[in-house]
Structure formats: structure tokens, C-alpha cells
Amino acid sequence: MEQPSSEPPTIHELEIADLDSLIRILEEKKPDDRTDEEVDLFVSTIGQLKFLKEIESSDRVRELCQKLEFRHFECGLDIFRLKDEVDGIYVILKGMVDVYIPSKDLGAGEEEKCVARFVPVQLFGELSVVKGGLRKARISTVEDSYFAYISKEEYHSIMETG
């Protein structure tokens, strides 16, 4: 019997139409105006990310998916910078971002280095939201990018309810 994968679905495993539908819903509807079917679409895609699968309560995952907001950043913009205050968690729906951290070797004029590239259906910012503190990296868009977003305050409010 094959073991279910603990990895999040990849862009190849999801229908592009589903991701486009998520973007449309986020753009057009406020969180409290979404239908149960629309929230189900978020749960079936974003809810499969490891970070959300580790939340014991499916009701909390559903509520987090209900409260997602829309964010769009054009190519070349920083979403946040090193030591910024933490604002929330981002899930890439379309586009790509690069992750930069300070370089330990500040020689040769290099102050930071790119350590990762995130693509659709990956999330970032969750560690700072959960653990607190300031941002530990700079995240910059590689192309126009669209995100599902939940604020730090909304996340903690949902997770702290009984």
C-alpha cells in the first residue's frame, strides 16, 4: 500500500484553473462573503500545505482559509526585508519569489545572497509569525506575483480560540 505524501501539492499536481479561481475569489470577495464551496476550494489546495496539515483542528484550518486575503506585488518588489516587523503568512498562487539572507562573507561587495526560490503553492513567513521576532530574510518577487495572505493577528486570533 502506497503511503500518502506529506509534501504539499506541486503546481503540476494542481489545476492551473484552481489557482486562477483562488486568485479571482480573493480579488473579488471579502473573507466573510465567500461561499462554503469557495472556502472548500482553499481547503483542498492551500489546506494541504505541511504547515496547515500540522494544525490539529480541521475547523481552525478551515477558518484560516476563510480569512485569507489577496496580495499582489509587481516584479522586482520586496515583500518584506530583513528585520522588518512581522505582518503575516504568504502563500504563492502565481509568480515566484527569491529569498535573500545576509552573507557571512561580506567581501567582494556582496552583502546578501539568494538562498532559495519559491514557486506557486509554497508559503513563507510562517516561522516568524509562529515564533515571533523580526523577519530573518528579504523576500523579493522575480515576476508579477499573487498571494493568499493571512495577517499575524488573524492567525493568532484563530489559533488561540478554544
Amino acid identity, position 123: L
- The CATH homologous superfamily for domain 16-160 is Jelly Rolls (2.60.120.10)
What pTM did the predictor assign? Answer: 0.85
Q: What is the pLDDT along the chain (162 residues), one digit of tens a residue?
A: 444 444 544 444 556 677 888 999 999 999 999 999 999 989 988 888 889 889 988 999 999 999 999 999 999 999 999 999 999 999 999 999 999 998 875 455 568 999 999 999 999 999 999 999 999 999 999 999 999 999 999 999 999 885
Q: Is 125 left (phi over 0), alpha (psi -120 to 50) or beta?
A: left
Domain boundaries, the chain: 16-160
| Distances from the Cα of 95 to the Cα of 33, 76, 150, angstroms | 26, 11, 18
| Confidence (pLDDT) at 30 | 94
